[in-house]
Structure 1
Amino acid sequence: MFEPESVAVGAVNDPVTLGVHLALITVVAAGCLLLGAMFAQHRRLGPGTPPPSNSAPAAMSSGSDTEELIDTLIRVHDLSHNDAVSSYVESCLARRGITRIDDPAGDPYDAGTHQVVATEPAPSPDRVGRVCHLVRPGWRHQHTIVRLAEVTVWTSGPRP
């Protein structure tokens, strides 16, 4: 006999897994809302202006809290194994002007946007000093680097 629930693709039947996914989505959504409120308040007041006494606490408008929240959202993006969560976090950050640095393999190494975390011997001399592959994406806000992209770079060392 045909049972539709037994053939559902991508269905989460484990209540613990479903609960973890829902909790993660809730945390990300709350973080995005808080980030939006903080940016809106910062834009309204201007940098260096103390918040009015009837507004949110001063700690909410400080740059370090905003930076910490952005860093946390980026970490959620890094740790998420769920494409929907990663995409949602990325879109929340993008709405605030924070975009990924996703340099493809073969681009020249740039100390201003890349952090070398590993090296590999180059397959040919013309690839020395170029990105072999991206380990973890970097992030930028307009022209300011929030986090360097972690990359593996080809070097002129001997082949193993």
Structure 2
Amino acid sequence: MATKKGVLGNGTEVWILHGAVPTLTKMNCITELALGDDSQAEVDNTCLEETEVRTNDYGLSTPGEGSFKINTDPKNATHITLLDLADKKELVGIYVGWSDGTTAPTVATGAVDLPEDRTWSWCTAILRKNSVVIGLDALNNHTVPFKRQSKVTDEFKVQP
């Protein structure tokens, strides 16, 4: 019997932390999410007497850019919330619950509590709004880009 390897994307859930009074909104029907890759500054530490190869160390990380994709549905209140936050270029917390669990996060006094029975990836980001994409035989959709303001933190599920 083959053993299951990895975690499927199907069943992944996404929450956005937003607002002056922190509100945690579960996003409904995100069709794609990319958290983006960071880049590393390189600090040259080559000595003048070196004649063949430059050497360097890594400096600070620059957080990457990512995006949400939605098949935009005006009846889906979470789509409208996401587009409104993006239009205002809001700073939000993005909390991604992997499909290896089902427990939802909670928020109290502005802090998000992530249950240990599923894997989480989270970061902060500034959202930006793009125009709708309309095509033949396709659902109207938005790709909502964001610029992360932190690294992506992964908290892996506690194994029994």
Q: Give yes or no for TM over 0.5.
A: no
More helix by share: 1
More strand by share: 2
> Normalization by structure 2: what TM-score?
0.25
Which structure is higher in RCO with an 8 Å CA cutoff and minimum separation 6?
A: 2
